[in-house]
Amino acid sequence: MATANKNLSNYDKATIPNAKDFRFGIVVSEWNEEITEGLYQGALTALLDCGAVVKNIYRLNVPGSFELVYGCKKMVERGDLDVVIAIGSVIQGETKHFDFVCSAATQGIKDLNVKYNLPIIFCVLTDNNMQQSIDRSGGKHGNKGTEAAIAAIQMAAIKRM
């Protein structure tokens, strides 16, 4: 397992650009809300810790991870953001639905990155069970939302180069 010995919340603030002048969109899936809210809180805390201003962080909720692509597209179309973070959680079930949702969200977010001049950060957990999701959304492996926020700040800085 890739995160078995890694805490996703660890970052060196001295190596991260100051986020005070960046504008962030965060699209959050309401499905598996206990997980996605943990991811959102991790992202928000990291953004604020790195200098982001609350009034420059915009949140949009969507029903599930499949809908993240459209939500991110709406954020892109605002035209005033530096980066968007897509937050979702898909947990393996007994059917192939997991595969279809994971593939659609991944490909859709990739397509937005290619089509638009705006980074979209992929923060969608695709875990085998609820415990793995808990461990990565504020549990024993830290918070993937924190990691996504740091990537968002870095990509916003690259966008402005």
Q: Is residue 55 part of a domain?
A: yes
Tally of domains within the chain: 1
The range of the structural domain enclosing residue 96 comes to 19-159
Residue 14's nearest CA partner among 51, 44, 45 is: 51
Which tokens in the block code for residue 107? 């490909």
The CATH code of the domain that includes 151 is 3.40.50.960
How many Cα atoms within 13 Å fall on the side-chain side of residue 152? 36
Torsion region of 110: left, alpha or beta (phi above 0 gives left; psi -120 to 50 gives alpha): alpha
How many Cα atoms within 13 Å fall on the side-chain side of residue 40? 20
- What whole-number distance in Å separates Cα of residue 88 and Cα of residue 86? 7
Q: Is residue 85 part of a domain?
A: yes
Q: Is residue 43 part of a domain?
A: yes
Which residues are known catalytic residues?
Answer: 97
Q: What is the tens place of the pLDDT at every residue in 92-147?
A: 988 888 889 999 999 999 999 999 999 999 999 999 999 999 999 999 999 999 99
Q: What is the tens place of the pLDDT at every residue in 95-110?
A: 888 889 999 999 999 9
In the block, residue with structure tokens 């923060």:
123
Q: Tell me the whole-structure pTM to 2 decimals.
A: 0.94
Would you give the DSSP letter of residue 53?
Answer: -
- Whether residue 120 contacts residue 82, with contact meaning beta carbons closer than 8 Å, is answered with no
